[in-house]
Amino acid sequence: LEFRRVLFRSGRVSCIPSPKGRYVPEANATESLPCPIGQVQPKQGAVECVPVEPGYYAPERGLAYALPCPEGSYAPEGTKVNTACLDADPGHYVPKPGATEQLACAKGTYQPLRGKSTCLPAPKGNYVPNVKAIAYLECPIGEYQPDEGQFSCVSVQPGFYAPIRGLSAAVPRSEEHTS
């Protein structure tokens, strides 16, 4: 343990340990220093501060403990100083606090915005064929999609048709239009 020296009015010198979030880098110091941004010190009487763990950040000086990155953001492995978290990119999400990586949106889902904790399902009549999508696609003419969150459309069956893009159901051919 490192202590800082304190001179009392009586002339007596005593040492006290540095508080959490602070450190004393050299012997016979008269004051402790706050941990820099991106580092913490959870113990008393420390000689140095420690970098925060991946998935966490220390946004201000003098913190004893790091804060977990909130949902929608992450702090990756290998980051030397975590002063802030990174927002999830469009087409990605981060579902839990304290994450070290972002996750790609699966087929059938998309996310157009940064910093989100979920991906959105493709609406009925639409689909998302790829991972990491930032938008959905309308089902083409001749196909439809009755469900949300799908990665493909359904071809119309005989006796039905899909005359426009983005349909959630095929349209029955009427008796007068069939030959």
Residue 45 has pLDDT above 80, yes or no: yes
Whole-number pLDDT of residue 27: 82
Cβ contacts of residue 61 below 8 Å, gap of 6+?
34, 35, 36, 37
pLDDT tens readout for residues 152-178: 999 999 999 999 999 999 999 884 454
CA distances to 150, 152, 158, 159, 171 from 168, in Å: 12, 12, 17, 17, 10
Whole-number pLDDT of residue 13: 61
The pTM for the full model equals 0.82
State the DSSP code for 177: G
Whole-number pLDDT of residue 8: 46
The pair of structure tokens assigned to 174 is 């009427």
Confidence at 12, pLDDT banded by 50, 70, 90: low
Whole-number percent of the chain with pLDDT over 70: 89
- Category of 165 on φ-ψ map: left (φ > 0), alpha (ψ -120 to 50) or beta: beta
pLDDT tens readout for residues 67-118: 999 999 999 987 777 889 999 999 999 999 999 999 999 999 999 999 999 9
Report the SS3 class of residue 176. helix
- Average pLDDT of the chain is 90
Cβ contacts of residue 175 below 8 Å, gap of 6+?
none
Residue 7 has pLDDT above 70, yes or no: no
Whole-number pLDDT of residue 176: 40
Q: Which residues on neighbouring strands pair with residue 155, listed in sequence order? A: 143
Q: Report yes or no: 100 and 69 within 8 Å, Cβ to Cβ.
A: no
